Amino acid sequence: MNANPVLAQVTRGNIVESFHRASYAITDNRGTLLSSAGDIQRPIFPRSAIKALQALALIESGAAQAYQFTDEEISVACASHNGEAHHINAVRSMLRKSGVNEHKLECGLHWPTHAPAASLLAASNQKPGNIHNNCSGKHAAMLATAHYLGEKLDNYIDISHPVQQRIQAIISQFCQYDASTAPCGIDGCSVPTWAIPLEKIACGFAMLSNNSHDNWQWSNASSTIIKSVRAAPQMVAGTGRFCTKIMNDVPRLFAKTGAEGVYCGVIQHAGIGIAVKCDDGATRAAEVIFAKIISKLPVWNKEEKAILSTYSSSELKNRNEIVTGDISACV
């Protein structure tokens, strides 16, 4: 197997201290490959980057409309959130509206990833619950959909449950790849994750653009997801996070991180999807590579292009806040 190219490097002083090999694919919503680097046919686990596709079932089933979910709630269904108060409140609201007990969440627990939120929880002598898991919004959406459709709520994380079978079918349709035959692993929040070629993942995101479906229901579901995230980007990640910051600065972009160096996105107005995978699993590298490759696309106005270019590199500082170097894309 040929090594993927170096697409990001880290400097210290006047030399390159380390580098990151990666691959990426950019396609349009007809499945045409527009640009790529590295091995884009090797199946990879998209991890949390694919949450917007998982959330499509919430919209298409009618559950989101029936329970009158807000933009913030639909957005947190697509999130790897910080566990800040507005995230937890939105997830609890989803569960309350859908009539599902919080104890039904099967995502596992961890402390909020946002340090101030974790400190507040500890200071109040509380322990984290499943609702503080960064994937709790996605799980609340899965439970809401199952409850609306009259399906059992227990073990909804199992691959044989209708919730996961429905998501598998959606991923297959959007990515134009049969996920039922793909290698399947267990994600950090215990739901199935299917390994899909990077090119097909990019295609799946391109299909999220609202002009990519003949079927009205899928077009409506796709545009609802993008509209909600655009209205509430703070719900997708949170304070200080790359996803939230770049979408705040460039509202015509949808961007989502995934574990192990995956980064995906859709440029709705252009019908373009993007998928990045860093070989070493480095999120910091995936972020700058993602920003650099999309900044080069001829689909932005001058202001957007200038903003995106600032995300193509990031200063690195030590604990005294002294700049020691940077990480930058070299695409």
C-alpha dihedral (234, 209, 134, 61), degrees to nearest 10: 120
Per-residue pLDDT, 209: 87
Average model confidence (pLDDT) for the chain? Answer: 95
Contacting residues for 69 by C-beta, under 8 A, at least 6 apart: 58, 63, 77, 94, 97, 144
Per-residue pLDDT, 264: 98
**Percent over 90 (pLDDT), the chain:** 94
Domains and CATH numbers, the chain: 6-329 (3.40.710)
Q: Over range 72-78, report the average pLDDT.
A: 98
Higher pLDDT, 14 or 129: 129
pLDDT of 269-309, one tens digit each?
999 999 999 999 999 999 999 999 999 999 999 999 999 99
State the pTM of this model: 0.95
Distance in angstroms (rounded) separating the CA atoms of residues 189 and 98 = 21
pLDDT over threshold 80, residue 1: no
pLDDT of 120-163, one tens digit each?
999 999 999 999 999 999 999 999 999 999 999 999 999 999 99
Which two three-digit tokens encode residue 138? 């996605």
pLDDT of 209-266, one tens digit each?
865 556 656 788 999 999 999 999 999 999 999 999 999 999 999 999 999 999 999 9
Q: Over range 79-104, report the average pLDDT.
A: 98
State the pLDDT confidence band at 75, using cuts at 50, 70 and 90.
very high
Per-residue pLDDT, 211: 58
Distance in angstroms (rounded) separating the CA atoms of residues 18 and 228 = 38
Q: How big, in percent rounded to 5, are the helix, strand and coil portions of the chain?
A: 45, 20, 35
